[in-house]
Structure 1
Amino acid sequence: MRAFLGMGLLGANFVRAMIKKGIQVQVWNRTTAKATALEAEGAKAFADVADAVRGADIIHLTLKDDASVDEVLEKASAGFQPGAVIIDHTTTSAAGAIQRTAAWKKKGFTYLHAPVFMGPINALEGTGSILVSGDQSVISKLEPVLAAMTGKVLHFGEEEGRAASIKLIGNLFLVTFTTGLADTLSLAKALHVPLSDITALFDSWNPAAMLPARLKRMTAGTYDKPSWELNMARKDTQLFLDAAAQGGTKLAIVPAIATEMDRWIAKGHGNDDWTVIGKDAL
């Protein structure tokens, strides 16, 4: 029997998927109504989190952050059965994941941080990716459980907290990618370019395909054979800023990029490949 704590969009659909596979699931949520709503689909809801985990071999969590995970697990622990396994899908700090792994092991329980790259539809359909790292014997034992929840289990070695770090890195990329799209739309608005033209552009030209080669170039550490000089990239960046200002729109992240470009130009890298702006990250 499973327990699932946290009935947000992701957690609720994980539970629905488990029920469809014939798994008995006891659920809890801070807002009780979100848990009781799943009773019509076969879950058993509890107002007390300690009651929700009683009898559960495996306890899943999808909560907000480190503080909420620590708080909920502490309250739930009164109902833990001996040897219970905690699988935490919450996006947290790496330090928090490391601390919890050690703390719950000391108390006689298995804690595995297994964050995910998946949305609610993925949780319902069993697609997407779950990230794991740490004790390989624990991961090997729990991999069938995780694989049933998703399309892929991605392994990142024996270091505790590495999965948490990878999740944060991936989310950072998604945040900056989406903010970049927002700036793209703002510039289009300033230039009176219709959304249909932007859609047509990206239907035909897929810059995401450049990602592996761009990452390789940035991390190679050599920038003296440019495909796009930093000076020229900075010139275009100013065109973005000027057009947005003239069109009465505001760009969110491009001003910070321009400042970073100016810093590297001032250091004498204007004629280098523009990816030199990532040199300090290596």
Structure 2
Amino acid sequence: MVAFLGMGLLGANFVRAMIRKGVQVQVWNRTASKATALEADGAKAFAEVADAVRGADVIHIVVKDDAAVNEVLANASAGFKPGAIIIDHTTTSAEGAIQRTKDWKARGFTYLHAPVFMGPQNALESTGYMLVSGDQEVIKKLEPALSQMTGKVINFGAEEGRAAGMKLIGNLFLVSFTAGIADTLSLAKALNIPLGDISTLFDSWNPAAMLPARLKRVSSGQYDQPSWELNMARKDTGLFMEAAAKGGTHLAVIPAIAKEMDRWIEKGHGNDDWTVIGKDAVS
């Protein structure tokens, strides 16, 4: 028996996928209608969270944040089966994941933080990535079931909270990447360049392929053999901002990057590779 708490877009499709695999699932959501909607798919919905977890060997949860996880689990605990396993897919702080692992273990339960890089369609199709870390015996036991929920389980070792930290790092990159796309489109708008031309460029030139090499370059600590000098990168950054201003568009992240570039130029790194702006992060 499995219980699933939190019937948002991700949780609901996780449940649908489990039911399609023949798993009996009891569900709960703070807004009850989201849970009862899953009854059409074969789930059993409960108005009270403690009732939803009764008899469940494994309890999955995906809610908003640390506070929500703590509140929901506290309210559900009256119905926990002795020795039940809690698997938390919520994006939370590393500290929260570490503390919950410790606290629930002290109460006789297994807690595993297993955040995901998955959208609702991934959850329905059982594709994507799930991150885990911590007690390797626990992970070894649960990995077969977790693998059925996702395309790949990535194990980051024995350190509690490491999976939570890796999820935050991944999300930071996605936020930065999307903000960069927004600035790219803003500059294109200012320059009267159509979206089709941007698509043509990136269909042929894929900067994402540079990511492994760029990560290695930034983290190397060696910036004295530039492929693009910081002074030149800063010059181009100024052209971005000037063109956007003339075209009446707004750049969200480039001004902050320009400010950081100026800081490193003032420190005497203008002739170094522009990736020197990441030096403090790796030194």
* TM-score band w.r.t. shorter chain: over 0.9
Q: How does 1:246-261 map to 2 (within 5 A)?
A: 246-261=246-261
1:226 aligns with 2:237: no
Aligned to 1:172: 172
Any idea what the Cα deviations from partners look like across 1:153-193, whole Å, max 9, x if unmatched? 10101000000000000000000000000000000000000
Aligned to 2:140: 140
Aligned to 2:281: 281
Aligned to 1:10: 10
1:43 is aligned with what amino acid?
Answer: A
Aligned to 2:213: 213
2:164 is aligned with what amino acid?
Answer: A
Counterparts of 2:211 and 2:163, CA distance in 1: 21
Aligned to 1:271: 271
1:113 aligns with 2:119: no
Aligned to 1:27: 27
1:61 is aligned with what amino acid?
Answer: I
Aligned to 2:188: 188
Aligned to 2:201: 201
Counterparts of 1:75 and 1:200, CA distance in 2: 53
Aligned to 1:243: 243
Of all paired residues, the percent bearing the same amino acid is: 79
Q: CA deviation at 1:256?
A: 0.2
Deviates more, 1:195-204 or 1:65-74: 195-204
1:41 is aligned with what amino acid?
Answer: D
Q: Does the residue aligned with 2:153 lie in a helix, a strand or coil?
A: strand
Any idea what the Cα deviations from partners look like across 1:78-102, whole Å, max 9, x if unmatched? 0000000000000000000000000
Counterparts of 1:58 and 1:124, CA distance in 2: 19
Aligned to 2:41: 41
Q: How does 1:80-159 map to 2 (within 5 A)?
A: 80-159=80-159
Any idea what the Cα deviations from partners look like across 1:106-165, whole Å, max 9, x if unmatched? 000000000001101110001101100000000000001100101101010100000000
Counterparts of 1:36 and 1:202, CA distance in 2: 44
Q: Does the residue aligned with 1:3 lie in a helix, a strand or coil?
A: strand
Counterparts of 1:213 and 1:203, CA distance in 2: 20
Counterparts of 1:231 and 1:55, CA distance in 2: 64
Aligned to 1:57: 57
Counterparts of 1:95 and 1:36, CA distance in 2: 33
Counterparts of 1:129 and 1:249, CA distance in 2: 36
1:88 is aligned with what amino acid?
Answer: D
Count of equivalent residues: 282
Q: Does the residue aligned with 1:228 lie in a helix, a strand or coil?
A: coil
Counterparts of 1:10 and 1:199, CA distance in 2: 30
Unaligned runs of 5+ in 2: none
Counterparts of 2:162 and 2:99, CA distance in 1: 13
1:80 is aligned with what amino acid?
Answer: F
Counterparts of 1:56 and 1:126, CA distance in 2: 22
**Structure 1 stretches of at least 4 aligned residues deviating more than 3 Å after TM superposition:** none
Counterparts of 2:132 and 2:271, CA distance in 1: 42
Counterparts of 2:224 and 2:159, CA distance in 1: 36
Q: TM-score, normalised by structure 2?
A: 0.99
2:50 is aligned with what amino acid?
Answer: A
Counterparts of 2:177 and 2:244, CA distance in 1: 19
Q: TM-score, normalised by structure 1?
A: 1.00
Counterparts of 1:243 and 1:176, CA distance in 2: 21
Aligned to 2:66: 66
Counterparts of 2:20 and 2:37, CA distance in 1: 16
1:149 is aligned with what amino acid?
Answer: M
Unaligned runs of 5+ in 1: none
